Structure 1
């Protein structure tokens, strides 16, 4: 059976310029995010009514209701909003933040800067969404026992392994999606406590460290590398 690939967070791009909208959708989609698009405020609201999103990338200057007005109405819902604008005066940025934007990026911008800001916003306190399937209590896998609340991991011999905050966050991300391929972006999104900067190599290093720590207690491989995609947690996970 083909493994399911779990994408990272869902992003809604709201911009009246179709070329910018499509370019951003292609770029963010290429980094593992699920992307929805809207060309104006009305379409944005229809998209939000159909499905929840984790971040809104919102252009300021749009026909009809502009981005500032839309941001003011959407902000109370708590979804992070990254505002895009060709207006780069200090007062413009201040107004954008005052109406509820979490961040403000001026056009033109480098796509990698946009990606870095998206990742940073999704890991900020307050951007947490309910993680479907994430274990909230204790779980058991391959004779290991992980206490999610106490952040305590016992190996098959009953010994307690010390995990850093980042290692625990990464392991919690894996046990919340056993058997499924997780992209690097998905792991960055799920493991919000990860003590690493937001780039793909950081995830590879973090996974390598976690693997070494687990292998010291038990040699059976638990985390599989899926070349060109990401990683998969192999054991079956059960509630403790």
Structure 2
């Protein structure tokens, strides 16, 4: 189980992040000021730190100086949106810098990228009767390999990592195609139809009215 330290002095934001990551199978510890976070780091190991910049006692930039030798990946979460602050955070060694307010699904995606970079994510996912090897990008059902295009595979992985979560068409398109959603596009719907047939997810990959799609399986 991944151990995540959330250093955020705004408790509603901290709780939202904690609940979202707990649903993803992470164990979260929360600290509400920099000094408390530094104390936790003395006696505990973490796989990831989500770090606010503007903190009581010790701010995030100062705390980052202490974290850097520990070689723990850090993502800054902050309202400081100036380019100079982003550059400072990245130069201090952070893996990413996310400006508030942010969508939880974006945060989860950024976390996933960082953890994959550090090889801390599960290399094989088993969900909805499928086995997905994220290292080789191969997919099987009942020992039979399923041939997917790169787009279909990325689409599959998105749903596999977000089970039981309704995803907007716009979000799906932007995450998989990597560009803004073109109004009226049917690309998502067409690829979903193909993915359903290839994977046997005809009944569990469900349309959500006026939103998009949801993978209705147990994580």
> Which category of TM-score, normalised to the shorter sequence, fits these structures?
0.5 to 0.7
TM-score under structure 1 length normalisation? 0.53
* Pair 224,60 (structure 1): closer, same or farther in 2 beyond 3 Å: same
2:195 is the alignment partner of 1:214: no
2:152 is the alignment partner of 1:163: no
Q: Which residue of 2 aligns with 1:93?
A: 86
Q: CA deviation at 1:90?
A: 3.5
Q: Deviations over 1:148-176 (max 9, x none)?
A: 77655677797x642123544637986xx
Q: Which residue of 2 aligns with 1:182?
A: 163
SS of residue matched to 1:182 = coil
Bigger RCO of structures 1 and 2 (CA < 8 A, at least 6 apart): 1
5+ residue gaps, structure 2: 167-174, 180-186, 209-213
Q: Which residue of 2 aligns with 1:4?
A: none
The number of aligned residues is 191
Task: Work out whether residues 223 and 233 of structure 1, in 8 Å CA contact, stay in contact via their aligned partners in 2.
Answer: no
* Pair 89,30 (structure 1): closer, same or farther in 2 beyond 3 Å: closer
Residue 84 (structure 1) aligned to one of 78, 81, 84: 78
SS of residue matched to 2:216 = strand
Q: Which residue of 2 aligns with 1:71?
A: 64
Q: Which residue of 2 aligns with 1:232?
A: 217
* Pair 103,213 (structure 1): closer, same or farther in 2 beyond 3 Å: same
Distance 1:148 1:118 in 2: 17
Q: CA deviation at 1:30?
A: 5.2
Residue 101 (structure 2) aligned to one of 100, 110, 113: 110
CA RMSD, Structure 1 to Structure 2 (Å)? 5.0
Distance 1:157 1:118 in 2: 30
Distance 1:27 1:52 in 2: 16
Q: Which residue of 2 aligns with 1:131?
A: 122
Q: Deviations over 1:58-114 (max 9, x none)?
A: 12233333211212332452423224144x4443332222111233345xx3333x6
* Larger of the two Rg values belongs to structure: 1
Q: Deviations over 1:1-22 (max 9, x none)?
A: xxxxxx9x7653312x3xx232
Distance 1:63 1:209 in 2: 51
Q: Which residue of 2 aligns with 1:59?
A: 52
Task: Work out whether residues 225 and 231 of structure 1, in 8 Å CA contact, stay in contact via their aligned partners in 2.
Answer: yes
TM-score under structure 2 length normalisation? 0.56
